[in-house]
Structure 1
Amino acid sequence: MEAEPIEAVAAVVSASGIAGRRLREIIARLIEGPAALEDLVRDFAVPRRTAEALLRAAGTDLDRDAGLVALRASVRQAYRERFRLPALEHRPQVTGMAELIAGAPAADRELDHVSATADTAERRAEWLATTYDLAGAHLVCIGDHDLTSLAVRRACPDVAITVVDVDERLLAYIDAQRAGIACFHADLRFGLPPVVAGSADLIFTDPPYTPEGVQLFLGRGAQALRDRDNGRLVMAYGFSPLTPALGLKVQRAVLDLDLVIEAMLPAFNRYHGAQAVGSASDLYVCRPTPHAWQILDRRLDRLAGAANIYTHGSQSLEGAARTGPARILGGGPLNAPEVTVDLSADPGPWLARVLIALNAPSVRLLVPNNHPDLRDEPAQVALRSLVAAKYDLRLLRSQPGPREAIVEAARRSGGPVAAEWLLTHAHGKLGNVLREALLRADPSLSRGEAQARAAEAIGPDHLDARLLDLPRHAIARLLTL
C-alpha cells in the first residue's frame, strides 16, 4: 500500500538526518504560497535532485500551476504539526553563560585549555540550533572546556547531549549543573567509551591546535557518529596569519581522514587568551566521505597511545615521548598474575583508571613523583579509598629516582561485596554489573528489585556504559551503594 504523501515527505526529511532543517524550511515556504523549483533550490541551498525528491513525495498534496508549486490549503495545518514548523520561527537567545563559565574549573594549560568567551559559547549554541535539526538528535562534545554543551542545552532542550573529556574537574562541574547531559571520561589517545561510539548525529570539538591533536579529536568524533551519510563534525581551529604553514599542516591532517571541509566561518570563536592566534579561531564544518570509514581506524592507530598531542607542558610535542597504558585503557580486561606498567607520562587520570581496569593479584606502576594522586595526604587518602575494595596500596615516593614514584597494589578480599564486584568487573555493562553486585550484597533482593535499584542509581545514560568510562566522582558515588 502506497504511503500517504505527508509520510513520504517525512521519509525524505528523515533521510537527511540533522541536515533536514533546510527541507523543513522548504515545506514552510510551500505553506506560504506558490514557489518555483529553481527558487527553492537557490533560496534554501539544496541540490535540485533533493528538492525534486521532496516535491515528488508530496504528490497530490501539492497544487501545481504554470511551473509553481504550493501545498494545498487543506493539508497545510497537518504539515505544520508534522514537521514542527513553529519551531523554525523560534530563534534561540542563549544567555547566562558568563556566570557558568566563571564558575567552571580553571583552565589547564597542560590540556591546551584557553577559555572561550561567554558570547562565543552562546553564539555557538544559537548557530548549531538554527543550522541543524537538533530536536531528537544526539550531540557529542569531544572535549568541552568551553561548556558548549550547557549552552546548547539552553538553546535546544530536546537534543540529547554527551560530553567526553579527560578533565575530571570539568566532568564533575557539568554533572553538577543537572542539565541532563551524559558525562564520560576518556583519554582519546586510548579510544572512545564504547557506549559513545556510533551514537551521534553531530559532533562539536575545540581540539588541541596541533595536527596530531586535531586529527585525533576529529577521528574519535567520526567514530562517535551513527549517521555516516548526514553526520557533521563542527570544529573550532585557528592559526596565526603569520604562520600559514601550520594552518596548512592542520588542514592536511583533516583531509588525511578523508573529511571534506564543507564550510569555514572566519573568526567565529573568541578567547580569553590565545593571543598568538589573535584570540580567535574559525569554525569548520567537516563531513565524512565514504572512503573515510575505510581508512579511519588505520589513521587513528598511528595516534593511539601517543603522549604528545598538546602544545604546552609535559604532554606537548616538545615533551619526551613515553610508553603509555594503551593496552590496558584501550583494550579489554588484562588477565595476568603480575602486571608492571610504565605510567611515567601520566598527566593525572591514568593511575586511578589503570587500578580500576586491572584485576591482577600484584601490580606495580611507575608514575611521576608529583602525581596529583600522590602529592599530598588528602590525595593519597582519596586514591586508597577509591580502590580499597579491591587493592591495598603501597606508595613509594622518590623511587627509583627523585622524579618518580612506585605504586604497588596487592589484591585484597573481605571488603564491601558490592564495591568489590563493581571494581572487578569494570569492563562490563554497568547496569548488569551493578545488578549482580546488589544481589551478592543482599541475597534477599529479587532480581527485578536489584535491576530497578541499579537503574535508579545509574540513570539511563550510563546503563550500557562501563564503570571504567564514568567520571571519577560518579565511580566514587557508586562504590558507596
Structure 2
Amino acid sequence: MERDGVERLLAEAGVDGRRLRHALASLCDGRWWTLATLVRHTATSRRTIESLLGVLDLERSGDRFRVAETHRPAFQDLLAVAPPPEDPVGHLVPHYEAVLDRLRELVAGAPRARHTLDHVAATPDTILRRALLLGARFWLPGARLLCVGDHDLTSLAVKLVHPETDVTVADVDDRILAYIDEQDLGVRTRWADLRLTLPTSARDHDLAITDPPYTPEGIGLFVARAVEGVKDDGRVLLAYGASERTPALALKVQNALSALNLAYEAIYPDFNRYFGAEAIGSAADLYILRPTTRTRPAAAARLDRAATAIYTQGPQSVESAPAADAPTQPEGPADLLVGDWPASLPHTRVKLSTWLAKPYAATVERVAIAVPAGLEAALPRLLLATRAAHVEVHLTAPPAVPAALAPVYDFTTSGTVLHATRRPLPDDPEGLLLRRILDNGHAKLANSWREGLIAAARAQDGALTKNEARTLIRQTAPWSDALSPVEAPLHRLTTLPTHIATTLTLLHTPL
C-alpha cells in the first residue's frame, strides 16, 4: 500500500512529478529531515510535501523523519537519479566559506521580521550566491547597486564579496537601516516607503535588486521603483516565487512585469531559499530584467496609480478593507490637507507622495495630514517636509512622538491626533545649526550644514571656505553626502546633534 500511494501521487503529478521524486530520494538517502528543511531543500510547497509524507510509513525521531533503511529498496526505481538544474554559481560558494560564516552571523543578529511587511529572511547561502551571481554576470568594480528594500541583507553580502561596488539601500524599516550602518561596510542607507516615493539620492544606478511582497501589486510597485532607480541601460534583479500549485498567481505577477515592458534576460529557477514561506516551497526564482525604451513611461504610469495596499498581511494587505476610522475633517483650521480626506472638504490638498517628494510651492501656516494604518513610519518625514507653524497629524492609533524632531516641534496628542507646533529658533550655535538643517527637509543635508558652519564662523569673526566646511562635515559624518533630512534614517537624525557639536568644535582647530 505504501508504494501504491507514492505511485498514485506520481501519476497525478505527471511531468511535475520530479519534485516528488526529488523529495522521495532525499527521504531515502539516510539523512534525517524536518518538514521545513525538506520543503526548502526541494523547493516544493508544504502541501505537496505533506501529501507525500502522508502515504509513507516513516521512521521518526522527535520532529525529524526519514524512510527506514529496510523500506528504501522498494522505492529505488521511483527516485529522481539526476539532480535539479545546476546552480549557476554553486561551484564558487566553497571559495567563500569565511564570507558565508560572517553572513550567518549577520543574518542571525538582524532585526526580527515584521509580518506586516511580508518579511521572510533569505538564507545566508542565498544572499552570498546573489552577490556571486552579480559578480559573475556583471562588471562590478565602480558599479552602483540599489537594493530596493533589504531585509535579507543582500547589500552586506555584496560589500563583503565585492567591496569596490557602490551600494545603496532604500528601505522603510529604520531597524534594518540602523543594523546595516552598524556593520560599517560602506553601504549607503536611505529611508523610503516605496508606496510613496523613491529618494532622489537613490536614482541613477547601474543595477537594482529587490525581493518584494509576492503580490501582483507588490511586485509591480517595487519593480517600477527599481526601474526608477536605474539608468536606461541598467538591469533589475527580482526574486519572486509561487507554489507549483498556483500557476495562475504566477501569471498575474508576470503580467504585472509585462505591463512594464521589461525584457527577460534570464530566470534562474528556485535560486533563492528562505527560512519560512513554506507555502511556496521556501524558494523563489531569480529574474534578470532589462528595461526597454518603453519601460520608463510604463513605470511612471504604474507609479501614478500606485496603491498602498500591496502586502499579504496586516492593514496594508491587498485584501484589507478601507479604514473605518479615517479622518472626516481637521480638528482645527487648515490651509492645506495632505493625504486622503473626504472630497466634500473645500480645502486645497496634496498627495502624501507629492508631499514627501518635493517642497510644497506655497507658504502655509497650518497643515493637516491623514496617515493611514501601515504608513506610520513616514510620520517623522511628513513632519520634516514642511516649515508650517502648526501640523495636525491624524493616525489610526495613538502616535509615538518622534524624539529626533523634538528640537523642531512641541508635541501634544489628542487620542489618535498629533499636534506639532514649530518651536522658536534657538539662540545657541548648535541648536541654530540643527534647526537650519531640519527646517530644510528636502535640501541636501550636507549643503545646509555647510552653509550653517560658514555662518557660525562668520558670527565668531572667523572665515571658513566652502571646501573647508565640506572637509569638516566629511570627517565627522561621511554618510551625509547627497542625503536630505526626509531621506535620512532615524538613527542618523538622532545622532545629528552630536555630529553638529563636533564640527562646531572643530571650527577652532586648524585643518
Any stretches of 5+ residues in structure 1 without a counterpart? 1-88, 374-379, 398-404
Q: Secondary structure of the residue that 2:147 maps to in structure 1? A: strand
CA contact (8 A) 2:485 2:493 kept: yes
Alignment-derived partner of residue 266 in structure 1:
269
C-alpha distance in structure 2 between counterparts of 1:316 and 1:446, whole Å: 55
C-alpha distance in structure 1 between counterparts of 2:248 and 2:482, whole Å: 44
Deviations along 1:292-332, one digit per CA (max 9) or x if unpaired, are 123321121111xx220111111111223463722322332
Deviations along 1:320-373, one digit per CA (max 9) or x if unpaired, are 3463722322332463111001113243311111111121111110113254x2
C-alpha distance in structure 2 between counterparts of 1:180 and 1:140, whole Å: 13
CA contact (8 A) 1:238 1:281 kept: yes
Alignment-derived partner of residue 442 in structure 2:
427
Q: Say yes or no: does 1:251 pair with 2:254.
A: yes
Alignment-derived partner of residue 167 in structure 1:
173
Q: Say yes or no: does 1:105 pair with 2:105.
A: no
Greater alpha carbon shift after TM alignment, 267-276 vs 91-100: 91-100
Q: TM-score, normalised by structure 2?
A: 0.69
Alignment-derived partner of residue 436 in structure 1:
451
Q: Secondary structure of the residue that 2:382 maps to in structure 1? A: helix
Deviations along 1:392-412, one digit per CA (max 9) or x if unpaired, are 111223xxxxxxx11001111
Q: Which runs of 4+ in 1 moved over 4 A?
A: 89-92
CA contact (8 A) 1:333 1:358 kept: yes
Q: How does 1:162-241 map to 2 (within 5 A)?
A: 162-198=168-204, 200-226=205-231, 228-229=232-233, 231-241=234-244
Q: Of residues 447, 455, 464 in structure 2, which corresponds to 1:447?
A: 464
C-alpha RMSD of the superposition: 1.9
C-alpha distance in structure 2 between counterparts of 1:302 and 1:295, whole Å: 11
CA contact (8 A) 2:259 2:298 kept: no
C-alpha distance in structure 2 between counterparts of 1:428 and 1:467, whole Å: 7
CA contact (8 A) 1:91 1:126 kept: no
Deviation at 1:91, TM superposition (A): 9.0
Alignment-derived partner of residue 391 in structure 2:
363
CA contact (8 A) 1:339 1:364 kept: yes
Q: TM-score, normalised by structure 1?
A: 0.73
Alignment-derived partner of residue 153 in structure 1:
159
Deviation at 1:155, TM superposition (A): 1.1
C-alpha distance in structure 1 between counterparts of 2:374 and 2:420, whole Å: 17
Q: Say yes or no: does 1:138 pair with 2:138.
A: no
Q: How does 1:280-319 map to 2 (within 5 A)?
A: 280-303=283-306, 306-319=307-320
C-alpha distance in structure 2 between counterparts of 1:462 and 1:203, whole Å: 22
CA contact (8 A) 1:346 1:368 kept: no
Q: Say yes or no: does 1:410 pair with 2:440.
A: no
Q: Which one has the largest radius of gyration?
A: 2
Q: Secondary structure of the residue that 2:394 maps to in structure 1? A: strand
Q: How does 1:316-355 map to 2 (within 5 A)?
A: 316-321=317-322, 323=340, 325-333=352-360, 335-355=363-383
Alignment-derived partner of residue 120 in structure 1:
126
Paired letter, 1:103? G
Alignment-derived partner of residue 505 in structure 2:
none
C-alpha distance in structure 2 between counterparts of 1:464 and 1:330, whole Å: 15
Deviation at 1:414, TM superposition (A): 3.6
Q: Secondary structure of the residue that 1:339 maps to in structure 2? A: strand
Paired letter, 2:464? R
CA contact (8 A) 2:398 2:417 kept: no
Paired letter, 2:288? V
C-alpha distance in structure 1 between counterparts of 2:208 and 2:110, whole Å: 22
Q: Secondary structure of the residue that 1:317 maps to in structure 2? A: coil
CA contact (8 A) 1:267 1:283 kept: yes
Alignment-derived partner of residue 409 in structure 2:
391
Count of residues in Structure 1 that have an aligned counterpart in Structure 2? 370
C-alpha distance in structure 2 between counterparts of 1:463 and 1:115, whole Å: 30
CA contact (8 A) 2:142 2:166 kept: yes
Change over 3 Å in CA distance of 1:391–1:270 after alignment to 2: same
C-alpha distance in structure 2 between counterparts of 1:280 and 1:294, whole Å: 32
Q: How many percent of aligned residue pairs carry the same amino acid? A: 40
Q: Secondary structure of the residue that 1:261 maps to in structure 2? A: strand
